[in-house]
Chains A and B, each alone.
Chain A
Amino acid sequence: MAGLLGIILQRLLLGIATLFAVSIIIFVAVNALPGDFAQSILGQGATPEAVEAIRNQLGLNESPPTRYFKWLLGAVQGDLGIPMSQALFQSFTGSSTGGDVVTVFDQIIPRLKNTMFLAGVSAAISVPLAVTLGILTALFRNTAFDKAMNVSTLSAISSPEFFLAYILILFLAVLNPVFPSLSNIFPGMEFGDRLNKTMLPALTLTLAVTAQMMRMTRAAIINLLASPYIEMARLKGLSPMRVIVKHALPNALAPIITVVALNLAYLVTGVVVVEVVFVYPGIGQLFVDSVKIRDIPVVQACCLIFAAVYILLNLTADVLSIISNPRLRHPK
């Protein structure tokens, strides 16, 4: 197990280096966009003096490297800063209203919880669905059922998400009002209500991620079906279902876990469009709003969260596939 711990430690260090690189890329990218926070927040009222006043106030006039390192210094101490919009609001009042300064954390945490809830619901639907369909299509491979499943999941994954979202709205909200098209969940909502409102975005995400997981499951199992020990199991007279679930599946777990982890990461990071379409108050919408006004501290924090989710889930996938494979668990 020492080897495993070593791998985890090494991966975590690499992950931190990745986060660092991501933060630089985001900073450069946001700065490369035309316009800055002062200009976008002032809009038509952007007189040169007003723009200059806000830039001075928020330190936007300092050179980008200085600003970046200031931010970095705070970030390594766990302080992601204050959203520019909030800092500006403080200055609008003329005096600091004192006390409750809204930090980037305060703004992100409730949104992140919502996004996690959505990802959780989507995963609870899509993972069992994809794995079951994968097993079934492997079992009935090259039948009409297999082909129908492949065609439908592949068409779903090939369509842009907003299109899937509108199709679902059309069929499940407009023509047959089963679910609400507006996912305006809020704290203190009953779980049933919350689930009901989250259903359409969750189904959209399910359609977007199922195909890959299903096809990977199918391929991994079919790959094994040619191996001698499966041959043996068949010759013993076991039913095809039993051969697949008991004999093939455990050995196919590693690739399946990897693809599931990747898709789970997508459920957190790929929600931007879906959240906007369904007005779901998650981190994706916050991200879009913040990019729009060039609120760099919030954009940075969102990106770091997205990157961290990817890194952690990938790490989890690697660890799990090592654990699921005795040969990797006990290296010679």
Chain B
Amino acid sequence: MSQISRRSLLKTGVAAGVLSATGLPLRAQAKKGGRLRLGIAGANTSDSWDGRTHSDSYMIMCAHGAVFDCLTEIGADGQLKGELAESWEASADAKTWTFKLRQGVTFHNGKAFGADDVIESLGMHTAEGAKSAAKPIISAITEMKKINDHEIQMTLEAGNADFPFLLSDYHILMFPAGQVDEAIAKGIGTGLYQVETFDPGVRFVGKRFPNHYKGDNAGHFDEVEVIAINDSSARMNALMTGQVDAVNRVDVKTEALLKANPMVTIMEVTGNQHFTFPMLTANAPFDNMNVRKALKHGINREELVNKILQGHGQVANDHPIGPANQYYAADLEQNSYDPDKSKFYLKEAGLDSLSVDLSAANAAFPGAVDAAQLYQASAKSGGININVVQEPDDGYWSNVWLKKSWCACYWSGRATEDWMFSSAYEAGVPWNDTGWENARFQELLLAARAELDSAKRREQYTEMQSLMSKEGGTVVPMYANYVDAHSSKLTNSGTTGNVFQMDSSRFMERWWFA
């Protein structure tokens, strides 16, 4: 696979079948059949099949991971491949994209899939009054042109080399044109499993869709049942007693008990999910870069990974790009705990000591208050007095985050660098939780977005990560692993996706009973 250059992959996507012909191992060993039962947290009584509303793991897994498909898909190995799109091609400025759609695909109700479905499904996100989280992606499309039933051309307002990547987003599902309302009500997609029963916030049962275009390569179970178990002890119990075959979001405090059970295997990947302490860089004293640097050297990242994540994570380096991103700069100089450096930077800032408030609540991330207290203890010897302000969980995101000068926060990360940066670090965007405005950073962001040359993009994104790490307004102490668990009877190809929990939410697609 490595023979295919990243450049050619970026500019033109190739169908999964062609790629796997170059030697993806182990596929043939998958065993078909059986009934998979999952115990999944993140379910709500308000759940529906409308992809635009999805935000929690339960519906992402059922819709994106089982019943519906997107145009593109991020493989378990992190590479982009076609799902309902077979291949794609960009113009030199990355503004015009032509997608060839897979032929012979049918929805669960028998309707054939074609270009009209794509146009209507994408249009759902920009419909009058619709509040879709994917609106920024779709509203960048200025024109959608149907060339023929299986070819479609999209023109963007500005070049975006990541466009096919963005179309793999779990909100952007393909619905049957003209039947969208019915499809939302009943769950009619092109996915591997068709809906048998769906009781929002309680359970989903799906049956393998016969003659699916992914054939024998995916969707090995005859039937899948996804049980909503939001309570973490109940979920762990269900797995321990064999009531379910796999669960998401393992409680790291009880992980040792699961590990001791020979029937259970822990599945752990480091993805892009990261915990942060953003400072509003417009407010004193955080407007002073030396103060920010002093704070970055006042936190003991290893201690946080060990005590807050119980080791289920990785030290991060004050930028939001994670190990699951393509251009993650792993060999950047690490900001480390060093009280002398804190003192040095405080002196540079003209201060003997520093007193700051840090607002935290466990709504920001599990263990945020404890993490803030550890930060307080470690920063002390560098002359920094952190006053931890414990905030209420309710309304945290409305009343504390983006309001208080320094607080705790989390980001689940994004599939592409551009998406992550433009969500939270581009000048002027609403979620810019550090008020970060840096001319060089902004320039690189725009240049890299339209850059199709992968080597150049790597350089640009590395410089951006370095800029943020050195000068940025957020302290990112750690990446938190996705920790899930499954029965030892289950197995997969050996490669587990790290874009999201449960094998990038495609557990039902990629696993089987050995």
A residues with CB within 8 A of B: 33-36, 39-47, 49-51, 53, 83, 85-86, 88-89, 91-95, 97-98, 100, 107, 166, 169, 173-174, 177, 180-182, 184, 186, 276-279, 281, 286, 289-290, 293, 295, 298
Give me 13 other A-B pairs in contact (C-beta within 8 A), A92-B132, A277-B231 excluded. A36-B395, A85-B46, A89-B50, A92-B53, A93-B52, A93-B127, A93-B181, A169-B241, A173-B237, A182-B243, A277-B233, A279-B231, A281-B199
Q: Is the CB–CB distance between A279 and B234 below 8 Å?
A: yes
Q: Given A39-B397, A97-B184, A173–B241 Cβ distance below 8 Å?
A: yes
Q: Which residues of A contact B127 (CB under 8 A)?
A: 93-95
Q: Is the CB–CB distance between B45 and A83 below 8 Å?
A: yes
How many Å lie between the Cα of A256 and that of B362 in the bound state? 47
Contact with A along B190-210 (1 / 0, CB 8 A): 000000010101110000000
How many Å lie between the Cα of A39 and that of B241 in the bound state? 37
Q: Which residues of A contact B472 (CB under 8 A)?
A: none
Q: Is B185's beta carbon under 8 Å from chain A?
A: yes
Q: Is the CB–CB distance between B397 and A43 below 8 Å?
A: yes
Q: Is the CB–CB distance between B133 and A279 below 8 Å?
A: no
What are 19 A-B contacts with C-beta separation under 8 Å?
A34-B392, A36-B395, A39-B397, A42-B397, A44-B410, A89-B53, A92-B53, A93-B50, A93-B127, A93-B184, A94-B128, A100-B185, A169-B241, A174-B237, A181-B243, A182-B227, A182-B234, A277-B234, A289-B45
Q: Is the CB–CB distance between A46 and B202 below 8 Å?
A: no
Q: Which residues of B contact A184 (CB under 8 A)?
A: 202-203, 227
Chain B nearest CB, measured from A212 CB (Å): 27
How many Å lie between the Cα of A47 and that of B202 in the bound state? 30
Q: Which residue of B lies closest to A197 (CB)?
A: B243
Q: Which residues of B contact A281 (CB under 8 A)?
A: 199, 201-202
Q: Is the interface of A mostly helix, strand, loop or mixed?
A: helix
Q: Is the CB–CB distance between B45 and A92 below 8 Å?
A: no
Q: Is the CB–CB distance between A33 and B394 below 8 Å?
A: yes
How many Å lie between the Cα of A207 and that of B286 in the bound state? 57
Q: Which residues of B contact A181 (CB under 8 A)?
A: 234, 237-238, 241, 243
Contact with A along B420-456 (1 / 0, CB 8 A): 0000000000110000000000000000000000000
Q: Which residue of B lies closest to A285 (CB)?
A: B201
Q: Which residues of B contact A42 (CB under 8 A)?
A: 397-398
What 4 A-B pairs come out closest when comparing CB atoms?
A: A85-B46, A35-B395, A35-B394, A94-B127
Q: Is the CB–CB distance between A92 and B398 below 8 Å?
A: no
B residues with CB within 8 A of A: 39, 44-46, 48, 50, 52-53, 55, 124, 127-133, 181, 184-185, 197, 199, 201-203, 227-231, 233-234, 237-238, 240-244, 392, 394-395, 397-399, 401, 409-410, 430-431
Q: Is the CB–CB distance between A289 and B50 below 8 Å?
A: no
Q: Which residues of B contact A35 (CB under 8 A)?
A: 394-395, 398-399
Among A97, A286, A293, the one with the most B-chain Cβ atoms within 10 Å of its Cβ is A97
Number of A-B contacts (CB under 8 A): 134
Q: Given A181-B237, A186-B202, A46–B397 Cβ distance below 8 Å?
A: yes
Q: Given A181-B241, A186-B202, A39–B395 Cβ distance below 8 Å?
A: yes
**Residue from the list B185, B240, B397, B399 in contact with A44, Cβ < 8 A:** B397
Chain A nearest CB, measured from B245 CB (Å): 12
How many Å lie between the Cα of A278 and that of B397 in the bound state? 30
Q: Which residues of B contact A177 (CB under 8 A)?
A: 241-242
Chain A nearest CB, measured from B446 CB (Å): 23
Chain B nearest CB, measured from A218 CB (Å): 35
How many Å lie between the Cα of A276 and that of B237 in the bound state? 13
Q: Which residues of A contact B184 (CB under 8 A)?
A: 93, 97
Chain A nearest CB, measured from B120 CB (Å): 12
Q: Which residues of A contact B181 (CB under 8 A)?
A: 93, 97-98
Among A45, A107, A279, A286, the one with the most B-chain Cβ atoms within 10 Å of its Cβ is A279
Q: Which residues of B contact A107 (CB under 8 A)?
A: 45
Chain A nearest CB, measured from B366 CB (Å): 15
How many Å lie between the Cα of A132 and that of B315 in the bound state? 62
Q: Which residues of B contact A289 (CB under 8 A)?
A: 44-45, 201, 230
How many Å lie between the Cα of A278 and that of B228 in the bound state? 11
How many Å lie between the Cα of A39 and that of B400 in the bound state? 12
How many Å lie between the Cα of A94 and that of B52 in the bound state? 11
Q: Is the CB–CB distance between B45 and A85 below 8 Å?
A: yes
Q: Is the CB–CB distance between B44 and A293 below 8 Å?
A: yes
How many Å lie between the Cα of A199 and that of B395 in the bound state? 38
Q: Which residues of B contact A169 (CB under 8 A)?
A: 237, 241
Q: Is the CB–CB distance between B129 and A94 below 8 Å?
A: yes
Q: Which residues of A contact B53 (CB under 8 A)?
A: 89, 92
Q: Which residue of A lies closest to B126 (CB)?
A: A94
Chain B nearest CB, measured from A48 CB (Å): 8
Chain A nearest CB, measured from B144 CB (Å): 18
Q: Which residues of A contact B197 (CB under 8 A)?
A: 186
Q: Which residues of A contact B233 (CB under 8 A)?
A: 166, 277
Q: Which residue of A lies closest to B127 (CB)?
A: A94
Q: Is the CB–CB distance between A46 and B398 below 8 Å?
A: yes
Q: Is the CB–CB distance between B234 and A91 below 8 Å?
A: no
How many Å lie between the Cα of A107 and that of B244 in the bound state? 26
Q: Which residues of B contact A286 (CB under 8 A)?
A: 45, 201
Q: Which residues of A contact B229 (CB under 8 A)?
A: 182, 279
Q: Is the CB–CB distance between A92 and B130 below 8 Å?
A: yes
Q: Which residues of A contact B133 (CB under 8 A)?
A: 45
How many Å lie between the Cα of A290 and that of B44 in the bound state? 9
How many Å lie between the Cα of A174 and that of B233 in the bound state? 13
Q: Which residues of A contact B243 (CB under 8 A)?
A: 180-182
Q: Which residue of B lies closest to A96 (CB)?
A: B181
Q: Which residue of B lies closest to A42 (CB)?
A: B397
How many Å lie between the Cα of A36 and that of B193 in the bound state? 36
Q: Is the CB–CB distance between A276 and B234 below 8 Å?
A: yes
Q: Is the CB–CB distance between A47 and B203 below 8 Å?
A: no
How many Å lie between the Cα of A279 and that of B244 in the bound state? 13
Q: Which residues of A contact B128 (CB under 8 A)?
A: 94
Q: Which residue of B lies closest to A276 (CB)?
A: B231
Chain A nearest CB, measured from B241 CB (Å): 5
Q: Which residue of B lies closest to A36 (CB)?
A: B395
Chain B nearest CB, measured from A73 CB (Å): 25
How many Å lie between the Cα of A274 and that of B28 in the bound state? 45
How many Å lie between the Cα of A169 and that of B392 in the bound state? 33
**Residue from the list A51, A91, A173, A182 in contact with B244, Cβ < 8 A:** A182
Q: Which residues of B contact A279 (CB under 8 A)?
A: 227-229, 231, 234, 238
Q: Is the CB–CB distance between A182 and B237 below 8 Å?
A: yes
Q: Which residues of A contact B130 (CB under 8 A)?
A: 92-94
How many Å lie between the Cα of A279 and that of B233 in the bound state? 10
Q: Which residue of B lies closest to A102 (CB)?
A: B200
Q: Which residues of B contact A277 (CB under 8 A)?
A: 231, 233-234
Chain A nearest CB, measured from B52 CB (Å): 6
Q: Which residues of A contact B55 (CB under 8 A)?
A: 43, 45
How many Å lie between the Cα of A53 and that of B397 in the bound state? 16
**Residue from the list A33, A83, A174, A295 in contact with B240, Cβ < 8 A:** A174
